[in-house]
Structure 1
Amino acid sequence: MKNLPNASSKQEKFVKLKICLSRCISDELRILWSSPYLSRLWCVFELAAYKKVNPGGKITFRPLFIERTVCVMLASAYCFAALFLIARDVFGPGITTLAVAFAIFACPYAAGIYLLRMSFREKHQLISQLANFDLEEVHCAEQFDRDFIHSAIEKWYGSKRAFTQFVRQDLRKDVEKILAAKRLPRRYLLLLLLPILSCSMEFFLANWKGGAPRDVLLSFAIGILFGYDIFFITACSLLMVYLCDILAPKRCGCLDHLQTLFAIFLVVGLLSLGNQLSAQAYQGSLSGAVVFLVVSIGFAWLMWWMERDSIDVLAPKDDPPSPPSRAEVTGKKADTFGPPVREWV
Structure 2
Amino acid sequence: MEPEVVGRKAEERSDSEAGPARTNLDLVVDFMSSMEVKRPEVLRCTSAWEAIWAVALSDMTAVNADRLFARSAPTQRITQFWSHSWHGSKRQKLCALLVVNNGLAALCAGTCAAVLSAFFLSAAMGPTGIEEGETETTLQGQYHRIYATSRPQAIASNLFGLLVAILCLLLWRPGTSVFLDRVCVHQTDRELKLAGLVSMSAFLKQSKVMTVWWDATYSSRLWCLFEIAAYLKSHSSQETRLSVRPVVLGPLAMGVFLGFSFAVLGVMLLPRAGTQSGTILTRIAMTTVAGSAALWYPLSALRSFYRSIDTMQAQLRDFRMDSATCYCCTSGHENRMLCDRQIIERCIVEWFGSVENFEQTIQTTVSSALAQQLGKFAFPMSWMWGCSCPLLWTFLAPALRQPLIGSFFILGWIFAVPVIFMIGASLAYKLRGQRLNCWLDGVSTLVCALACVFSYMGMETLAGVLSSALQTYWTSVAAFAASMFLIMLSLWCCWQGGSLDRIRMNPHKAPVNNEVPPRILSL
| TM-score above 0.5, yes or no | yes
Q: Classify the TM-score, shorter chain.
A: 0.7 to 0.9
Structure 1 residue corresponding to 2:425, chosen from 241, 246, 256: 241
Q: Contact 2:288–2:453 (CA<8 Å) still a contact in 1? A: no
Alpha-carbon offset, residue 116 of structure 1: 0.7
- 1:119 deviation in Å? 0.6
Alignment of 1:1-345 (within 5 A): 2-3=3-4, 9-17=24-32, 18-19=35-36, 20=199, 21-22=201-202, 24-56=205-237, 57-82=240-265, 94=277, 98=283, 105-143=291-329, 144-181=339-376, 183-205=378-400, 208=402, 218=404, 220-221=405-406, 223-226=408-411, 228-249=412-433, 254=437, 255=440, 258-279=443-464, 281-282=466-467, 285-286=472-473, 287-310=475-498, 314=502, 316=504, 319-320=507-508
What is aligned with 2:73?
Answer: none
Q: Is contact 1:80–1:104 with CA below 8 Å preserved after alignment?
A: yes
CA 70–275 in structure 1, closer or farther in 2 if over 3 Å, else same: farther
Task: Name the CA shift for 1:279/1:253 in 2 (closer, same or farther; >3 Å).
Answer: same
1:138 Cα deviation after fit? 1.1
For the structure 1 residues 314 and 62, does the alpha-carbon distance in structure 2 shift closer, same or farther, using more than 3 Å as the test?
A: closer
Q: 1:113, 1:240 within 8 Å by CA — same for their partners in 2?
A: yes
Checking the alignment, whether the CA contact within 8 Å between 1:110 and 1:268 is kept in structure 2 is no
CA RMSD of aligned residues (A): 3.9
- Counterpart-to-counterpart distance in 2, 1:257 and 1:156: 49
Tell me the alpha carbon deviations over residues 33-59 of structure 1, each in whole angstroms, 9 at most, x when there is no partner. 111101111111111222222242243
In structure 1, how many angstroms separate the alpha carbons of the residues matched to 2:467 and 2:393? Answer: 18
- Structure 2 equivalent of residue 212 of structure 1: none
Alpha carbons 2:374, 2:380 under 8 Å: kept: no
Between the aligned partners of 1:296 and 1:16, the Cα distance in structure 2 is 61
Q: Distance in 1 between matches of 2:513 and 2:472?
A: 71
Deviations 1:69-95 (A, max 9, x none): 221121233245446656779xx9735
Kindly tell me the number of residue pairs found equivalent between the two proteins.
Answer: 312
Q: Which has the larger displacement, 62-71 or 241-250? A: 241-250
Query: How many Å apart are 1:114 and its aligned residue?
Result: 1.7
1:131 to partner: Cα distance: 0.9
CA–CA distance in structure 2, aligned partners of residues 301 and 39 of structure 1 = 40
Looking at structure 1, the residues matched to 394 and 370 of structure 2 have their Cα atoms a distance apart, in angstroms, of 39
Q: How far apart, CA to CA, are the structure 1 residues paired with 2:408 and 2:227?
A: 53
Cα 1:134–1:273, aligned 2, differ >3 Å: closer, same or farther? same
Which segment drifts farther, 293-302 or 259-268?
259-268
CA distance in 2, matches of 1:28, 1:175: 15
Which stretches in structure 2 are left out of the alignment for 5+ residues?
Answer: 9-20, 37-198, 330-338, 516-523
Give me the TM-score of the superposition, normalised by structure 1: 0.73
Greater share of helix: 1
Compute the displacement of 1:112 (Å).
2.0
TM-score of the two chains, using structure 2 as the length reference: 0.51
Unaligned runs of 5+ in 1: 209-216, 323-336, 341-345
Contact 1:180 1:311 in 2 (8 A): no
CA distance change for structure 1 residues 243 and 79 in 2, over 3 Å: closer, same or farther?
closer
